[in-house]
Structure 1
Amino acid sequence: MSYYPTPTALFRYRVVSAIEALRMQGFTLADAVCAVADQEQVTPKGVVKQYSPRTLYRWRRMFALGGLAGLEPRKRTPLLGSRVIEPSVLDFLVREHKEDPHASIPELLRRARVQGVLRERQPLDRRAVWRAFRRLGLNTDRQRRPGHADVRRFSYAERMQMVLVDGCHFRAGPQRARRVAFYFLDDATRFGLEVVVGRSEHTEHFVQGLHALVRRFGLMDVLYSDNGSAFVSEDAARLLTNLGIRHITGTPHYPQGRGKVERFNRAVRARVLNGLTAADVDPSPASLTLRLRHDLLELYNHLPHASLENQTPQERWDASPRSLVPPRDEAWLTQCFVLTETRRVRLDNVIQYGGKLFEVPAGYAGKTLTLHRRLLEDNRLYIRHQERWLRLAELAPHFNATQQRAPSSRPSPEPASPHKNASMMDFERAYGSILSADGGFSDPNPDKE
């Protein structure tokens, strides 16, 4: 019967041959083994590693006793169970695990101690239990699975019925700066719509990408995202409400529900993101946005897609019969990106917003104002003042300490006369008014001529 050596046996024979070659050059056995042990070897699986002298001595002895066949890996009899766990204890743990698969291994050990199967102070490492479960083929994964949720796969048939958005974290530049790329992807056609790069996962960058997308391609019916802070913020919810876009968020900690986005992220990392740490890459968000937008629109959209029957996203996008839904006009779109807030003006003519103080014109002390926050202008605040829009400036106390407020153009109102109190009324009843003809003094002898 012919013998076919395995790659492992051939690899070990090559290492043993290197030892024997050094001995033929005059090296002692110890020196030859140490010299080969200092060398890096490439295993049949492509792993580069070094082997200890003890391993090399063992391989040389195996070859001397059995030849090339002696270098074959030993076939070990699989161990079912454990050598360190008593059979009664292991049977109890296996039975409890089958009845309650969600119970953790520490919980199973506590149950064993409570039931008296495991003595109170008997040491038992949970790692030994885990290894025994793995040998017995028991599933010990703690992967979350939605209970009675609808986990059927779905996809929309036409373009812009649903848009997928996700933030992909990566490093850029020689300093390996942290960056986040917000990708917008059409669900039906996998067409790349927009990408915006930011320094962190903030709603501001999501707003910028959404505005550019709507201006170029129009409104989508549904937006699908995960539960990232940029997508579930109050600003994002109010903005999508203004645009009339329905928002769906995936189940937390369940990436299987976002398979299309996760697959896209893995592909874009391998294609472009992993190479952005080069020395000639500008890590500024604007430069990275330009670079990634070119990759998305000019390269990715023209690559064949396996799930599209080897069509490109651009071909599938152009073949969709669904018409795009543009915004009503530019003014309406701009107004949708304006959020309103109400604040009460303090007596020193300042309002507080976002932990900061802003000055308002004189005359609004104690009143409630409607603030218009423009998301496309770095969240700047505006109010309607004298039939025009006035941008509020942040309070500058050091400037106010050296500069006087401009005089008011309105004339000062005449001071109103105070109302008579009870004491004045009683005095006039007893003595008369000082403005009367007698000056408020009566004649002490009225009958005398």
Structure 2
Amino acid sequence: MGCRASFPVFAASCPSAGLACMSHSDRAANHAGLRVPRFLSFPTQHLHGGRSLLLIIVRGMEIFRMDAKAEKLALFRYGLIAPLIIERLPRGELTRRAQEIAARTYDIPHSKRTSVSVDTLLDWALRYRNGGFEALAPKPREDRGQSRTVTPQLASLIERLKRENPHRTGTTLLRELALSSGQDTPALSASTLYRFLKQRGLSEKQLLAPAVHKKFEAEHSNQIWQADMLFGPWVRRVNGGRMQAFLHATLDDASRLIPHAQFYASQGLDASLDCLRHAVAARGLPARLYIDNAKIYRSPQLARIAASLGILIVHSRPYQPEGRGKIERFFRTVRDQFLANLDPKHALSLEELNDRLWIWIESVYHRSEHSALGSTPLARWQRDIEQIRQLPPATDLRRLFFHRLDRVVRRDSTFLLHNRLYEAPPHLAGQRVEVRFDPLDAAEVEIWFQGKLDIAARPVDPVVNGQLPSVKRTAAAEPEPTGINFVELLKQKQEKE
């Protein structure tokens, strides 16, 4: 009788406490003269971020919710009164069993008490008969969530002060409240203030939290492309040494297919535009290109190319990368499944690294089922292939992606482009021309003058160019004299007067 248990244990002669509750028949309860509602219970901690809740489904489909603390206490109380409610008992036997249960000591959840009185046990049993399992849970306070210290006027003032400047600290708020009320000390404690701010969503973190981003997905392939850059591994230089490679990639939002991805020696605009050019050549034109807010993606070169191709450039908001989650997830797949499996003892060149990358993309990534799609990226992209917008066959895509820069031709008929001299025709000396070129292959440079292609520029060797004779301009023929002179005309006019 003096044993102590964290949960009551009864003799084997007593029926299991859970059998009556889980029964789908009311016959046993009606035979005992008890109004025990039928209910089912199941844990829901997987639905609430780990916080256990108990859903009680009673007759009439009404749902009651308990938090973990209330559930634990209700289960403890039910374990104590189960022998009193599972069968019909005479009054004397009911009291005797209650006295027997009350004589023991227990570890009562969330309480320092170790015993329960007979009257309390009988009260719990009555509450169970009238209201079911949920009636055993402690009733929440009617003023729960309402501060008894913070008056409505004070609450309004605190909210206005905090919204006016979300960076106001609790200490500053307390001082301002005390000074504004003409008192030496504030009307509430620091803990009460912090609790009030958190309950009302007025903490600095809550007020300055970024807007919630909804998950989105394009309806058709090539409706939205995402583009970004990933810092890659170190590769072997052609002339010896090592350098870091940068992975530029484009991803189709609807299918997760990769129109093009390639490692480059540069992380700048030149590499990004080359990747986009290969992507358009391989998979057609996207309607929108979703990129971040970096400087290279706000280049006029990209804006001009997009306008020529009929592509709408959409920039994500600064410091909010959530919208580019799909391509970030692709980069994680590249790190986990491709880069992690490269042999660190064997240094690859940039070309060798790209060869292995495309073998992996074409044979593994494009042909593996995507969990969010239920199909492979390649199969999902091909489903909309009839809607893909293609370039006209006569389009010279390479020249369409040429960079365009203005240069002034020097008197020696040369101009400087990326620290390299090029020769222009002599008649363009001193003129401003437009130079069009492929930044990754500067062997071909076009000179445009007054909106028309003039000639292809030729690279110049400064040493050889200095040894060549200067090209003299052809002297223009002198015009016939007009015989008109301003001073002489004035003299003739005066003589006439």
Superposition TM-score tier, normalisation by shorter sequence: 0.5 to 0.7
* Aligned residue among 340, 362, 369 for 2:433: 369
Secondary structure of the residue aligned to 2:360 is helix
Which of 274, 288, 300 is matched with 2:353 structurally?
Answer: 288
* Corresponding position of 1:238: 304
Deviation track 1:199-223 (CA, whole Å, cap 9, x = no partner) reads: 3321111222222222222222221
Is the contact between residue 301 and residue 404 of structure 2 (CA under 8 Å) also seen in structure 1?
no
Q: 1:195 Cα deviation (Å)?
A: 0.5
Structure 1 unmatched runs, 5+:
4-74, 76-87, 118-127, 430-449
1:271 partnered with 2:355 = no
- Normalised by the length of structure 1, the TM-score is 0.58
Structure 1 residues 155-176: Cα deviation after superposition (integer angstroms, max 9, x where no partner): 2222222222111223335998
User: CA–CA distance in 2 between the matches of 1:187 and 1:280?
Assistant: 35
Once the two structures are TM-superposed, the CA of residue 191 in structure 1 deviates from its matched residue by: 1.4
SS at 1:164's partner residue?
strand
Name the structure 1 match of 2:362.
297
> Residue in 1 aligned with 2:268?
202
The C-alpha deviation readout for 1:105-130, integer Å capped at 9, x for no partner, is 6755556566677xxxxxxxxxx99x
Distance in 2 (alpha carbons) for counterparts of 1:335 and 1:356: 21
Q: Percent identity?
A: 21
Distance 1:140 1:405, change over 3 A: same
Q: Work out whether residues 424 and 457 of structure 2, in 8 Å CA contact, stay in contact via their aligned partners in 1.
A: no
Matched residue, 2:227? 165
Output aligned runs, 1:175-186, within 5 Å.
Answer: 177-186=243-252
In structure 1, distance between residues paired with 2:410 and 2:459: 15
Q: From the superposition, tell whether residues 171 and 332 of structure 1 become closer, same or farther in structure 2 (CA, over 3 Å).
A: closer
SS of match in other structure, 1:363: helix
CA distance in 1, matches of 2:343, 2:164: 42
Correspondence 1:281-430 to 2 at 5 A: 281-282=347-348, 284-309=349-374, 311-320=375-384, 322-329=386-393, 331-351=395-415, 358-375=422-439, 377-378=441-442, 381-383=445-447, 389-393=455-459, 396=462, 399-400=464-465, 402-405=466-469, 407=471, 412-413=475-476
SS at match of 1:307: coil
List aligned pairs for 1:30-41, cutoff 5 A.
none
Amino acid in structure 1 at the alignment position of 2:273: V
Corresponding letter in the other structure for 1:178? Q
The gaps in structure 2 that reach 5 residues or longer are 7-109, 111-149, 180-189, 493-497
Match of 1:224 in 2: 290
Aligned Cα root-mean-square deviation (Å):
4.7
- SS of aligned partner of 2:366: helix
Q: How many residues align?
A: 326
Q: Could you tell me which amino acid in structure 2 is paired with residue 167 of structure 1?
A: M
Deviation at 1:300, TM superposition (A): 0.7
In 2 relative to 1, CA 235–144 (structure 1 residues): closer, same or farther, beyond 3 Å? Answer: farther
- The one-character-per-residue Cα deviations of 1:10-32 (angstroms, maximum 9, x if unpaired) are xxxxxxxxxxxxxxxxxxxxxxx
| Aligned equivalents of 2:423, 2:282: Cα separation in 1 | 37
TM-score (normalised: structure 2): 0.53
CA contact (8 A) 2:162 2:168 kept: no
Give the 3-state SS of the residue equivalent to 2:428 in structure 1: coil
Matched to 1:304, the amino acid is E
CA shift at 1:308, angstroms? 0.8
